[in-house]
Chains A and B, each alone.
Chain A
Amino acid sequence: MSFHPKMAYGATFHKSSRALEDEGPAFVYTPENRARFDEIVKRYPPDRRRSAVLPALYLAQYQQGYITANAIRHVAELLGITRADVEDVVSFYTMFYTRPMGTFVLQVCRTLSCAINGAECVTEALVEKLGITPGETDPTGTFTLLEVECLGACDRAPVVMVNDAWHESLKPEDAGTLIDDLRARGDAALSGCHHVVERKS
């Protein structure tokens, strides 16, 4: 039935045009990740499983590259909280990605100590080299460029974080070399780039 005198039900107005969010591919933890999850949950009191939401989301992100609605559902079910609780957390913390990212996520620190040591020029060099602006992923899906706030290694400025590895004291003229190196050697280019103890000239 219709409540409109001239229009049939479902013809125009009554149809929702709201697009449903993409739920992503089906998601469950791999057996290894499930085992690690079970291990992590034990760190918190039994009635406080929710505390494990950040580590649980990291496991999902390492497994799939980013967090989807299906991953949120899986984490929520395992922790016994609602999907909204998990989504609340995902949308707050910047280190969770809700869209596919490049193989290498380049995060250039843009805050004061890095900026006054040339971080803006590093970003500029990366923009020119990759042909993308901060926030974008290149068409091949290899690199995502991001500008982030203070990474906490201001004595080795400017700092660029590539996935979980830190590249420190990176000069703008070396930014191109870093990209070439990543293209040529892949993950191998990510080891040995962290100074460990601060540089002394």
Chain B
Amino acid sequence: MDPILTKYVREPNSFTLDFYLQHAGYDALKLALTKKPDEIIEMVKASGLRGRGGAGFPTGMKWQFVDKKIEPRYIACNADESEPGTFKDHLLMERNPHLLIEGCAIGCYAIGAKVAYIYIRGEFIHVQHVLERAIDEAYARGFLGKNILGSGFDCDVYVHRGAGAYEAGEETALLESLEGKRAQPRNKPPFPALVGLYNKPTAVNNVETLCNVPLIVSKGPEWYAALGPEKNGGPKLYCVSGHVKRPGVYEASMKITLRELIEGHAGGVRDGHTLKAVIPGGSSVPILLPDQLDTQASFDGIQKAGSLLGSAAIVVLDETTCMVWLAENLLHFYRHESCGKCTPCREGTDWLHQILHRIERGEGQMQDIDLLQSVAGNIAGKTLCAFGDAAATPVLTTLKHFRHEYEAHVKEGKCTLPAPWRARHPVGAH
């Protein structure tokens, strides 16, 4: 499949409005404004578009759930993109910002919202500048603002900058942060579609999800659905990173396999090395092994193989990677990013990191391995949001597939796989 969302990202002026208009930009918005809002929702439902942020929930359903009796309604675009290994929204917003703006406008029209907030992570300041410039251009040419293209429809799009909290990527935590509070999740239900931003009905959609909406409107839901396997329609952006020759964002149909992505697009693992494991959907999903590479990289395909597509962040690990070190590295992340609201996660991530740290340094005991299993098992499923499950996964999945590495660390009293890319004297470990 030829790239659609990222077709022009390598063109020098791809982020400008003039370039976008030369390539059928905002045609979908013009077309959408001639239809009824319900028709747009029906189109998105028929296309089978699933949320690209991680959960894969059907976007049309989400929009249908938005309570149309309550005013005002909002769209909150999740551009927090903080799952380790994910950088697709980064590319879309930096090189094709008008596609997102068009998607926001169509989304607002469909659910009857007048304001869309794009919640962008604080570190993406250079991306934010591009996005804000694009929004200004769109206002100046009448694609945003009052009475868009003479249709009587008003829509404002604002960028809201986060400040370095991973948890703000969780939809209710994002809304809390947007309201000017700590990014901590709310209890669900009620879901944001009924009680969201400022307690009003809100659709929270990922950047890539909204970027797919103009395609569905302009080319039709049947065309869109046929791009991928059943229930996994449309183009998908994959972020391949780690020990591969050509890391990057690759756009493909979800009919593609992990092998085609890793060995074809990304050029395979570095010369002289062999594949050890693949994380197919960001740091919070179970690991897949080399013999599972022929798995179809779709939401359903990866789930069948025992993992999740998540945000399609494929991290490739070669044989130099110590799996105990990997779990410690990721738990350092989760310990740091836990928002502190739920006790199992706040306390448990710290415990897990401490135990992993001592095993990795060769100071652990055999019973520590069972303790890990127990602590991780007591976090998963016992927290308000999915962060708890995410934090437990790296431990549980490495224990499942690589328990022998943990045991070797304890028996030999040192790390058994000290890779050359690791520090000689670990600094800042605690």
User: Which of A5-13, A18-26, A53-61, A173-181 is the contact stretch?
Assistant: A53-61
- Any chain A CB within 8 A of the CB of B236? no
- Any chain A CB within 8 A of the CB of B393? no
Which residue, B81, B182, B339, has most C-beta atoms of chain A within 10 A?
B182
- Any chain A CB within 8 A of the CB of B85? yes
Residues from chain A with Cβ under 8 Å of B326 in the complex: 112
- Any chain B CB within 8 A of the CB of A99? no
- Any chain A CB within 8 A of the CB of B330? yes
Cβ < 8 Å to A, chain B residues 235-276: 239-243, 245-249
- Any chain A CB within 8 A of the CB of B87? yes
Query: Given A93-B165, A112-B283, A112-B326 in contact, is the A51-B241 Cβ separation under 8 Å?
Result: no
- Any chain B CB within 8 A of the CB of A183? no
Interface contact A150-B82, CB-CB below 8 Å: yes
- Any chain A CB within 8 A of the CB of B198? yes
- Any chain A CB within 8 A of the CB of B382? no
Interface contact B123-A45, CB-CB below 8 Å: no
- How far, in angstroms, from A120 to B419 measured CA to CA in the complex? 11
Residues from chain B with Cβ under 8 Å of A123 in the complex: 423, 427-428
Give the number of residues in B that approach A within 8 Å (Cβ atoms). Answer: 70
Residues from chain B with Cβ under 8 Å of A43 in the complex: 117, 156, 158, 160
Residues from chain B with Cβ under 8 Å of A32 in the complex: none
Other-chain residue from A45, A94, A155, A157 in contact with B198 (beta carbon distance below 8 A): A45
User: Which of B35-43, B88-96, B214-222, B223-231 is the contact stretch?
Assistant: B88-96
Interface contact A53-B333, CB-CB below 8 Å: no
Residues from chain A with Cβ under 8 Å of B422 in the complex: 115, 120-121
- Any chain B CB within 8 A of the CB of A189? no
Residues from chain A with Cβ under 8 Å of B10 in the complex: 197
- Any chain A CB within 8 A of the CB of B302? no
Residues from chain A with Cβ under 8 Å of B81 in the complex: 152
Query: Given A50-B180, A93-B165, A152-B82 in contact, is the A117-B248 Cβ separation under 8 Å?
Result: no
Interface contact B242-A113, CB-CB below 8 Å: yes
- Any chain B CB within 8 A of the CB of A130? no
Interface contact B198-A154, CB-CB below 8 Å: no
Interface contact A54-B427, CB-CB below 8 Å: no
Residue in A closest to B72 when the chains form the complex, CB atoms: A45
Residues from chain B with Cβ under 8 Å of A45 in the complex: 198
B360 to chain A, nearest CB (A): 13
Residues from chain B with Cβ under 8 Å of A73 in the complex: none
A111 to chain B, nearest CB (A): 5
Cβ < 8 Å to B, chain A residues 95-117: 95-96, 110-113, 115-117
- How far, in angstroms, from A45 to B180 measured CA to CA in the complex? 13
Query: Given A116-B421, A147-B428 in contact, is the A201-B84 Cβ separation under 8 Å?
Result: no
Other-chain residue from A57, A150, A164 in contact with B126 (beta carbon distance below 8 A): A164
Please encode chain B, from 404 to 430, with 1 for each CB lying within 8 Å of some chain A CB and 0 for all others.
000000000000000101111111100
User: Which of B101-109, B313-321, B363-371 is the contact stretch?
Assistant: B313-321
A65 to chain B, nearest CB (A): 16
- Any chain A CB within 8 A of the CB of B177? yes
Interface contact A89-B166, CB-CB below 8 Å: no
- Any chain A CB within 8 A of the CB of B145? no
Residues from chain B with Cβ under 8 Å of A135 in the complex: 428
Query: Given A164-B126, A166-B126 in contact, is the A154-B84 Cβ separation under 8 Å?
Result: yes
A44 to chain B, nearest CB (A): 8
Other-chain residue from B163, B179, B337 in contact with A96 (beta carbon distance below 8 A): B163
6 inter-chain pairs at a CB distance below 8 angstroms, sorted by A residue, are A52-B180, A93-B122, A93-B183, A94-B163, A116-B321, A165-B126
Q: Can you add 11 more A-B contacts, CB < 8 Å, to A48-B179, A52-B180, A94-B163?
A: A45-B198, A50-B179, A51-B179, A85-B181, A88-B182, A92-B182, A93-B163, A113-B84, A124-B424, A124-B427, A151-B123
B positions within 8 Å CB-CB of A: 9-10, 81-87, 90-91, 94-95, 117, 121-126, 156, 158, 160-166, 177-183, 198, 239-243, 245-249, 279, 283, 313, 315, 317, 321, 326, 329-330, 332-333, 336-337, 339, 419, 421-428
